[in-house]
Amino acid sequence: MQIYKGKSVFGGIAIGKISVYSKAEQQVKRLKIENVEKEVERYHEATATAIQQLQELYDKALREVGEANAAIFEIHQMMLEDDDYAESIENMIQMQKVNAEYAVAQTADNFARMFSSMDDDYMKERAADVKDISERLLTVLQGEESQGVESQEPSIIVADDLAPSETVQLDKDKVLSFVTVHGSLNSHSAILARTMGIPALVGTKLPVDDTVNGKLGIVDGTNGIIYVDPDEVTLGKMKEFQKIELEKKKLLETLKGKENITLDGQKILLYANIGNTKDLATVLQNDAGGIGLFRSEFIYLEREDYPTEEEQFQIYKAVAETMAGKRVIIRTLDIGADKQCDYFKMEKEENPAMGCRAIRICLKRPEIFKTQLRALFRASVYGKIAIMYPMITSVKEIQRIKDIVTQVKAELEEKGVEYREPEQGIMIETPAAVMISDQLAKEVDFFSIGTNDLTQYTLAIDRQNTALDEFYDPHHPAVLRMISMVVNNAHKAGIWAGICGELGADRELTKEFLVMGVDELSVSPGNILPIRKIVRETNVKEYKEYRK
């Protein structure tokens, strides 16, 4: 038996035959060509074919994993048409009189090297994207079939890495799990794996060859381990764990329709985080009490130009109507840092995580902000919409928002457009906001604590830098004290406070959040019922005594 440790992308137990997926080496030779124009035309035709393939992948991903996760294939289409990338290939063909395959391979190496050397983690991830689109181009140019992950029987896929295009083609009925040697927890493939609900590991140092291919494997997604050729004792133990997991899942189904109330009568709201309207089915399926975070930035990220007021209104209206009177908290535009929109034409920043992002962009570009607010106020007529402003650090920012809101209402009234004024709250994501939360609480209707950024800024650690994983501690006493302080200050001012960051789904802390008096936890839909179970089995008063 061999045991390999990796980083868990998605939990659960998978037991089955290992199927090694290895990409065929694409041999590219440098050839001298005579007809330069014909070779450039051959490159253009290959690009058109590759774009068509990516459109088909986008359509498939849209059906299976939603608009936000399908967006990568639109990005890849744009990258294929990028002027710098295309001109580099064309110039190489024309100046060096070489074949298109060689020009594509050289350009891919040059661009990937450039992206990999950048300090920004988001830009580093683009190196993998350049390689992916270039490999697709080479496959078309060489007249080969596009490769995909294939398995004749349910298997554990083991690979050096998986590109987004390969991951989305996984047949969920045939794939029990996937394990990769490379890849990060923030890669497109990892995000897709979570959405698809497949137990998965990345960063797992195991051989990708015949020493594991065809052997029995066990993936323990919860603990980040893969067992290859397990012994009978391990196999029996893991089968038992798998059985327990399935039984737990069935038991959780019985919690649908039940209250989120502790044994001693303390209630808490359990809401869901979503990125687009395609996620609404899983929200309803998992019996969420509302939506605690609708990431409106995906409406912008999935487009090549600014979404109009009407386009946004229709999306917000659809969400409000679908949730049928349940609260829907929509976060206003939160781009910047690792979420970039080319058409915003933002200036390059040395430290984008601390730069012009979220509410700062909205206040510097009020017309964009007002367009979104008009759509939100109009959509509030159709359901219980609440608005949440991200990255607030001062009372002055809230006062500026209120001035803009006043202008928006005046504009709607002047045009005779029906609207309702929704609840308005802010995200607490910085130590500055925590320290003045007593003042901020007097200005808004609610707080939602964004623990991802709060942890990052409190510990001074880039949460996307995998080299610092050993130092990144979301359970750090400073972070937990800050959450408690925010909740206390909210309650003193008579408003409610929730958590919408990843920490809200951390079941090791659910009881701690109940002790703190957190009013709402907003998590991914699949975490609603497991947290409801903990809530309903907890006696907060007894737990407080136990902690002493």
Residues assigned a catalytic role? 188, 500
Rounded CA separation 344/336 (Å): 10
Rounded CA separation 436/8 (Å): 36
Long-range contacts of 338-341 (CB under 8 A, 24+ apart): 338/120, 338/121, 338/122, 338/186, 338/464, 339/122, 339/297, 339/301, 340/122, 341/300, 341/301
Tokens of 65: 């994993």
Rounded CA separation 405/410 (Å): 9
Tokens of 355: 């730069």
From the list 357, 354, 331, the residue with the least C-alpha distance to 344 is 357
Other Cβ atoms less than 10 A from the Cβ of 28: the count is 17
Q: What is the DSSP string of 122-188?
A: HHHHHHHHHHHHHHHHHHHHTTPPPP----SSSEEEEES---HHHHHT--TTTEEEEEESS--TTSH
**80, 50 Cβ separation under 8 angstroms:** yes
Pairing between β-strand 200-202 and β-strand 7-10 as defined by DSSP bridges: antiparallel
Q: Dihedral of CA 399/401/407/413: which sign?
A: negative
Q: What is the DSSP string of 352-375?
A: GGGSS-THHHHHHSHHHHHHHHHH
Tokens of 455: 């942890």
Rounded CA separation 513/499 (Å): 9
- Dihedrals phi, psi of 278, to nearest 5 degrees: -65, -20
Axis crossing angle, helix 36-65 with helix 67-80, rounded to the nearest 10 = 180
Rounded CA separation 192/24 (Å): 24
- Helices vs. strands in the chain: H and E counts, helices first: 21, 16
Three-state secondary-structure class, residue 294: strand
- Give the residue carrying structure tokens 């990338």: 85
